[in-house]
Amino acid sequence: MQSVMCRLRKRVVFLFILCLYCVLFLTLILYWMYTEHINFNSEDIAENSYAEVKKEQQPNLYTAKKIPVEIWGKASISLYLWQHILKGPLHSIHNGLMNFGNLTLNNFEFSFKNGAGFIQTTVPQNVQYLVLVLNGRSPDKVKQAEEWLRYLKKLKQLRKVCLVLLGSEQCENDWILPYMVSRGGTVDVAFLVYDTPLIDNKEFFQWPLGVAEYRGFPDFSESSIDLLSKRPYLGNFVGTVYKNSSRESLVNFIKKRKWTDKILLIERDEWIPNETFRYLSKYLNYNLLSSNQGS
């Protein structure tokens, strides 16, 4: 009987020790699996972080979205901007009442609108980036320009505004100041035609008058102009001379200095609304004497 009890105790002890070994083995297995899981997650997080860093370091060329820019032309100089500077295409409908065109340059998608048919209620209301071309040359034009500038506050999605303004020849452009962002307005930057004390190359910049594109004057390509040949004239003035205007002062100054042998002057007293082909050809021939090869 005692021997049986002894063997039984030995078996119990053996089973107990075996169970301890099993528990210890399972504990080691679970611990190994846990540590492997932690290491795997750490490596995964590290790889994801590295991928994010690489993504941030990629050039904007691959990630930048197209930026839509509206150009609204309510002055004739907008055609010079669109066709001569940006080289954009132009289409007309309703007998020229509306002119429009689209152009993509790098990451910018330009949409041009010009003509009497485009008014405050017919332009896009969701515009974010806007180039607004206005005429501020005379009091009546200033009044029309201000109507557009006041209307900008109604465009809730508007983010940036660039103004291209045909300014006053008498430098009377201070009326624009209240519409600048620095004064609480909506215009971020302005480009002004004609010289003015406002030019600071920070908020106000100077803009070229350009050519009367709406009269059909062509846009000469670089390949069609001989830049090396000598010209018989240093410059030219071909245009209408209005009384008490800066043009009249310019012509008188040239004549007083006796520079007519250096500067070609072709004047007229009255503007012709519908330019004739004869005068257009005449202008081009005169212009070539100072901007291209002369005889």
The residue ranges of DSSP E strands in the chain, in sequence order, are: 67-73, 91-93, 98-105, 108-114, 129-135, 160-166, 189-193, 204-207, 235-240, 263-268
**Separation of alpha carbons 135 and 144, rounded Å:** 8
Rounded distance between C-alpha atoms, residue 76 and residue 212, angstroms: 8
Written as six digits, the tokens of 16 are 């107990």
77/200 same-domain check = yes
Do 72 and 53 share a domain, yes or no?
Answer: no
Euclidean distance between CA atoms 231 and 225, whole angstroms:
12
**Is 225 in the same domain as 210?**
no
Contact 254, 237 (CB under 8 A): yes
Q: Has residue 208 been placed in a domain? A: yes
- Are residues 96 and 162 both part of a single domain? yes
Residue 24, domain member (yes or no): yes
Residue 206 lies in a domain: yes
Q: Would the pLDDT of 215 be above 60?
A: yes
Confidence of residue 59 (pLDDT cuts 50, 70, 90): very low
Instruction: Band the pLDDT of 51: cuts 50, 70, 90.
Output: very low
**Domain identity same for 72 and 187:** yes
Q: Give the mean model confidence (pLDDT) for residues 48-70.
A: 55
15 and 80 in a single domain? The answer is no
**Count of domains for the chain:** 3
Q: Which of 131, 135, 140, 127 is nearest to 105 (CA)?
A: 131
Tokens 């504990």, located at residue: 27
Hey, how many other C-beta atoms are within 10 angstroms of the C-beta on 185?
18
Sheet of 91-93, strands arranged across: 91-93, 98-105, 108-114, 67-73, 129-135, 160-166, 189-193, 204-207
Of 33, 57, 81, the last residue of a domain is 57
146 belongs to a structural domain? yes
| Token representation of residue 124 | 């896009």
Please report which confidence band the pLDDT of residue 32 belongs to, taking 50, 70 and 90 as the band edges.
low
| Vertex 122: Cα angle to 121 and 125 (nearest 5) | 75
pLDDT band at 45 (very low <50, low <70, confident <90, very high): very low
CA-to-CA dists, residue 97 to 44, 113, 244, angstroms? 62, 11, 33
Rounded to an integer, what is the distance from CA 131 to the centroid of its chain?
7
For residues 72 and 207, state if they share a domain. Answer: yes
pLDDT band for position 62 (50/70/90)?
very low
Q: Is residue 62 part of a domain?
A: no
Closest CA to 263 of 291, 242, 282: 291
Cα 237 to Cα 240: distance, rounded to the nearest angstrom: 9
2 has pLDDT over 60: no
**CATH code, domain carrying 105:** 3.40.50
Residue 262 has pLDDT above 80, yes or no: yes
pLDDT score of 266: 84
CA separation for the pair 74, 72 (Å, rounded): 6
Instruction: Write out pLDDT tens, residues 128-166.
Output: 999 999 999 999 999 999 999 999 999 999 999 999 999
**Residue 209 shares a structural domain with residue 227:** no
Mean pLDDT of all residues in 192-218: 86
Q: Could you give the CA distance from residue 210 to residue 141 in angstroms, rounded to a whole number? A: 19
How confident is the model at residue 61, as a pLDDT? 42
| Start-to-end CA span in the chain (Å) | 141
**Are 124 and 13 contained in the same domain?**
no
Q: Which residue has the higher pLDDT, 18 or 206?
A: 206
Q: Is 228 helix (H, G, I), strand (E, B) or coil?
A: coil
pLDDT digits (tens, 9 = 90+) for 82-129: 999 999 999 988 888 889 999 999 999 999 999 988 888 888 999 999
Write down the residue that tokens 């002004």 correspond to: 192
Q: Does 100 share its domain with 159?
A: yes
108, two tokens: 């910018």
Q: Which residue, of 153, 187, 214, is where some domain finishes?
A: 214
In a domain, residue 90? The reply is: yes
Contact 236, 286 (CB under 8 A): yes
Same domain, yes or no: 102 and 187: yes
Range of the domain at 88: 67-214
Distance of CA 110 to the CA centre of its chain: 8
Q: Is the pLDDT of residue 237 over 90?
A: no
Residue 20 confidence (pLDDT):
60
Same domain? 123 vs 209: yes
In a domain, residue 119? The reply is yes
Greater confidence (231 vs 71) lies with 71
pLDDT at 12 over 60: no
**Is 246 within a domain?**
yes
> Phi then psi for 235, rounded to 5 degrees?
-165, 180
Q: Which of 214, 239, 255 is where one domain is finished?
A: 214
Bridge partner list, 237:
265
How large is the average pLDDT for residues 219-231?
77
